[in-house]
Amino acid sequence: MMYKGKHKIINNYITACDYSFLVGEIKKAITTKKKLLISPIASHTLVRAYYDNNLNDVLNKFDYLVPDSQWVRWSISFLYGKDKKLNDRVYGPILMQKICLLSSKKRYKVFLYGNTSIVLSSLEAKLKNKFKDLIIIGKEESKFRNLSKKELADLAKKIESLKSDIIFISLGSPKQELFGYELSKLIKKPLIIIPVGAAFDFISGYKKQAPLWMQKIGFEWLYRFLFEPKRLFKRYVFYGLLFLLIIIFNRISKFNYME
């Protein structure tokens, strides 16, 4: 288990930890009946939050923002020193499966929200095949638009009535973080809320993941970009470059301040 504190990356506080730490925190929260907001966060979302005060405020209300991106992971040690270096990122698809493994052992009830009905059906089948005792208590596809207040309230009631312990959300970032936070305000009972983005697509087999070697060197973004250049250009090229520039500027500013 590894926990190296929370560190400000751009304007948000990223938890430097590993999978075991988060799984332990989830187990503890369910046992003590506490609500928990967790999000594996990518660099483009942090950049967007830099220019969007509402998104920035919402992200800082999450209990744990963890480095889904290698670039976010590397930025922690780049800005705060080698002693903060993490052995790995906390990757959404892997985190989701580790939580499903925990849930199958502890009989936690899991709710799936977002994406399409085709992806959800395939995802449910894959998860139940891999984790035999996993309880998927409910699932609901995205409407691909903002929900009305009534629709969001109805969804919250449904999740509560099913006595869900954990909800995974797949709406794309940062929409899923904003959605998860609004949902948390309506749900009074303890619930673990985790936006996981493309994890639904990857685990279901709907989309291919980048080869492991590309993931390790931080070029998963390039693999995905080659398959969906129009949709992902702004996310990976524009915001990606901005992220690097802001991090480098922060490093220079930090050294100047220390002098």
254 vs 242, which has greater pLDDT?
A: 242
Domains of the chain, by residue range, sit at: 3-258
The pLDDT-based confidence of 255 (bands split at 50, 70, 90) is: low
258 vs 255, which has greater pLDDT?
A: 255
Q: The pTM is what?
A: 0.95
Residue 256 has pLDDT above 70, yes or no: no
Averaged pLDDT for residues 175-192: 97
Predicted confidence (pLDDT) per residue in 134-173, tens digit: 999 999 999 999 999 999 999 999 999 999 999 999 999 9
Residue 200: what pLDDT? 98
Tell me the percentage of the chain whose pLDDT exceeds 70: 98
Orientation of helix 92-106 relative to helix 117-130, angle to 10°? 60
Predicted confidence (pLDDT) per residue in 185-212, tens digit: 999 999 999 999 999 999 999 999 999 9
Residue 259: what pLDDT? 43
CA distance 102 to 185: 26
Averaged pLDDT for residues 224-234: 94
CA distance 117 to 244: 37
Residue 215 has pLDDT above 90, yes or no: yes
The pLDDT-based confidence of 257 (bands split at 50, 70, 90) is: very low
Averaged pLDDT for residues 65-83: 97
Q: Which one-letter amino acid corresponds to residue 82?
A: K
The pLDDT-based confidence of 253 (bands split at 50, 70, 90) is: confident
Residue 168: what pLDDT? 99
Residue 258: what pLDDT? 43
Predicted confidence (pLDDT) per residue in 23-54, tens digit: 999 999 999 999 999 999 999 999 999 999 99
